[in-house]
């Protein structure tokens, strides 16, 4: 059907157009995608076997949906992706405030216009990108905002009494007729406003200032909410929950690999940053592991959650730390260093909600603790495990390295050291070269220095070496030597 040639109701009828409700429209297009094996929610990772099948069942069942989950779990993204299941264009009566279906008008304006002009009634076409409405629930939202109110200016201009339904100004929900309407953070909506949604969800009629209008709005509602045991601001009233067809629980990425894919997709980097900074694969794993550590940390409120946005902004900061160093050194390319992870602390401190113990430690200290915990977790998968207790005089894979620090009194790694200085300092620690040759003989040369620094940081976490932070960088020393120096 060539929509450019269809501009009146008569032409629409002649073309054999059949009206379809939005829930059936979503259902039919989803059925086609499933049958042909086409991806339905592209760009959403980690939900393939959990959330997406439940969401597809809800759409096939023509349900209004509540996506329940902690912050940063792609709830709003899922809702926006549903737009792709809509028909590309739908017709509506030209001039209608509520996108009246020309074959099934529900507003007084559209009914009067069709009665007056018949088959000559003008129609327009609405693209699916314009059929998505979103409202963040805040305590100041009113019934008038969502549903509508009497407009005294319209009454005066049209010289109508308040008893005439033409004085009504429609709110966001009626204006989203035949569209997807999302209310984010539903528990934040005051209970009396939630009550106003009852009839719209169940019976399809709306009430505005004493007007009872039988307007069977054709809508797909999607709500998002955090678990009620976390939100102290309010909850979803029980009768409203009863009217929502499916409640679907979202979750965080279950593996580091999935988390890496999400961060890579969402991080906003320009081509200059990608060209300047080389990022070892291990660095990406450490970055994602930090979020996993945060979700289990005793210092962080796990009911609040740790958003996937933390890893995304932390990765952006991480690249920027290396980029800044390269610019200061006047070089065109640089490799990411483990010490660059100090640059992600501002991205962590603003994204986590600390419990009392965490507040006592301080947000920056907790962030450093998370970085250390991530390194400690990943180290045994790359090198032999460091035992907590060792027999006196027993030789371990790390004995030569620890003895080197005891003999050489350690060294300093400056944050802004040039690549040549940085590599020269690490090259002096000859036991590190031997360790890498033994356990990672095929390691890419570009990854070697990051891996060397990783070993040092891990030995600090396992209390085999000492690391002190000062204004310009880090100082690595023998553990016992640092104790002696403090005496």
pLDDT digits (tens, 9 = 90+) for 27-40: 999 999 999 999 89
Positions in the chain whose pLDDT score sits under 70 = 1, 155, 161-165, 204-205, 209-213, 228-234, 389-391, 393, 480-487
- Return the pLDDT at 302: 85
Relative to beta strand 473-478, strand 123-127 is unpaired
- Return the pLDDT at 357: 93
Could you tell me if residue 209 is left (phi over 0), alpha (psi between -120 and 50 degrees) or otherwise beta?
Answer: left
Domains in the chain, start-ordered, CATH in brackets?
Answer: 3-249 (3.40.50.300), 252-381 (1.10.8), 389-486 (1.10.10)
The string of pLDDT tens digits covering residues 114-146 is 999 999 999 999 999 999 999 998 888 988 888
d(CA 406, CA 398): 13
Are residues 175 and 98 in contact, defined by beta-carbon separation less than 8 angstroms?
yes
């Amino acid at each position: 059907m060539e929509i450019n040639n269809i501009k009146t109701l008569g032409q629409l009828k002649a073309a054999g157009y059949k009206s379809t409700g939005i829930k059936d429209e979503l259902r039919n297009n989803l059925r086609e995608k499933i049958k042909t094996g086409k991806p339905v929610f592209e760009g959403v990772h980690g939900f393939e076997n959990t959330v997406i099948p439940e969401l597809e069942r809800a759409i096939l069942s023509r349900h209004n949906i509540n996506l329940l989950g902690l912050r940063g779990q792609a709830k709003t993204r899922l809702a926006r992706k549903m737009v792709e299941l809509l028909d590309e264009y739908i017709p509506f009566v030209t001039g209608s405030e509520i996108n009246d279906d020309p074959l099934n008008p529900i507003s007084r304006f559209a009914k009067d216009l069709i009665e007056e002009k018949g088959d000559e009634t003008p129609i327009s076409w609405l693209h699916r990108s314009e059929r998505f409405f979103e409202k963040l629930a805040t305590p100041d939202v009113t019934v008038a905002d969502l549903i509508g109110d009497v407009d005294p200016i319209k009454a005066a201009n049209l010289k109508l009494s308040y008893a005439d339904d033409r004085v009504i100004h429609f709110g966001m929900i009626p204006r989203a007729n035949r569209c997807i309407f999302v209310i984010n953070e539903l528990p934040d909506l005051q209970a009396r406003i939630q009550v106003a949604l009852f009839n719209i969800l169940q019976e399809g009629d709306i009430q505005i200032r004493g007007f009872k209008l039988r307007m069977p709005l054709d809508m797909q509602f999607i709500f998002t909410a955090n678990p009620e045991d976390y939100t102290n601001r309010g909850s979803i009233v029980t009768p409203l929950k009863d009217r929502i067809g499916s409640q679907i629980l979202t979750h965080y990425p279950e593996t580091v690999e999935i988390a890496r894919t999400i961060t890579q997709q969402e991080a906003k980097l320009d081509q200059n940053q990608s060209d300047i900074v080389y990022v070892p694969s291990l660095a990406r794993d450490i970055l994602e592991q930090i979020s996993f550590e945060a979700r289990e940390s005793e210092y962080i409120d796990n009911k609040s959650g740790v958003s996937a946005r933390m890893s995304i902004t932390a990765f952006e900061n991480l690249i920027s730390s290396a980029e800044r160093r390269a610019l200061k050194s006047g070089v065109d390319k640089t490799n990411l260093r483990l010490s660059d992870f100090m640059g992600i602390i501002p991205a962590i401190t603003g994204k986590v909600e600390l419990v009392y113990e965490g507040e006592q430690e301080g947000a920056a200290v907790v962030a450093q603790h998370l970085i250390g915990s991530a390194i400690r977790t990943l180290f045994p998968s790359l090198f032999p495990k460091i035992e907590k207790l060792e027999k006196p005089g027993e030789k371990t894979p790390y004995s030569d390295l620890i003895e080197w620090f005891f003999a050489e009194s350690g060294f300093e790694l400056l944050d802004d050291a040039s690549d040549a200085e940085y590599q020269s300092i690490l090259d002096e620690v000859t036991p590190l070269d031997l360790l890498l040759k033994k356990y990672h003989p095929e390691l890419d040369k570009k990854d070697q220095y990051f891996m060397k620094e990783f070993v040092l940081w891990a030995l600090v976490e396992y209390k085999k070496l000492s690391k002190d932070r000062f204004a310009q960088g880090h100082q690595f020393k023998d553990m016992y030597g640092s104790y002696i120096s403090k005496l």
